[in-house]
Amino acid sequence: MKKITFKTLALICITLGISTFASSKEKAHWDYKGAQGPEKWGSLNHEWQACADGSKQSPIDLKWKKPKSDRTISFHYKSSPFKVLDNGHTVQANFMEGNYVKIKGQRFDLLQLHFHAHSEHSIGKKFYPLEMHLVHKNAEGKLAVVGVMFQEGAENHELEKIFAHVPSKQNHEKAVETNLDFNGLVPSVKTHYHYMGSLTTPPCSEGVNWNVFNTAVSASAKQLAAFKKMYSANYRPIQNLNGRLPANY
């Protein structure tokens, strides 16, 4: 059996939304408020220094610009089995291999999706009640995240498949008998913002390829309230652009 290195384990933890270890004996803890909130993340673990002094951090405010046409995202998603996890910071759905996107021809495989309320990114300084992140990784281990905004409207049947199967205990996965149809979670209009940023949770690693749709998907008031009952403020505040100019495609 191939030996799993600490570096490999850390990458797995990052992509699954789990914090890395501060030492071999003690697990570092972070939160969205108080002494372990976003303003303190950089001081909680020396490996999380980017949270305090990184220059390309996420999320950011996205400003409307006329769409370009020289960048495309092609989605290669299929109806898929999945497992739901409450990892203590958000609700997450994990997937086996088979779903991927191509960004400028480069393949990124889907690992998981998870949610933040309210939205982490803002568009023209407007926040949405819920934001979903679809986390992907390429063969080199680089990450690409697709962000989807939800606004109050009709019930979302695919979203319900996830929220209705959240395990009663944290850090326990629950397999769902029905498959997930991504067509109900991704907008048909693919206009999006692109910029290079970071993970929005510790260790706040940079080099993340961000792609955020500017067309929202609907979710019912009941569904939005159900998530907020579990996680009412699991978002990182807006970060400085530091000279970045996100493009609209």
Find the domain containing 75 and state its range.
Answer: 55-248
Mean pLDDT of 198-226: 98
The amino acid present at 11, given as its one-letter code, is L
**What proportion of the chain, given as a percentage, has pLDDT over 90?**
85
Residue 6: the pLDDT is 39
Residue tagged 């978002």 (tokens): 235
Backbone angles phi, psi at 198, to 5 degrees: -140, 175
pLDDT digits over 31-66, tens only? 999 999 999 999 999 999 999 999 999 999 999 888
Q: What domain count does the chain have?
A: 1
Let me know if 114 is a catalytic residue. no
Structure tokens at 228: 């907020």
Whichever domain contains 118, its CATH number is 3.10.200.10
Would 181 be classed as within a structural domain? yes
Burial call 49-73: b when 16+ CB within 10 Å, e when fewer: ebbeebebbbbbbbeeeeeeeeeeb
Q: Is residue 91 predicted with pLDDT exceeding 80?
A: yes
Residue 27: the pLDDT is 64
DSSP state of 80: B
Catalytic residue selected from 29, 46, 76, 89: 89
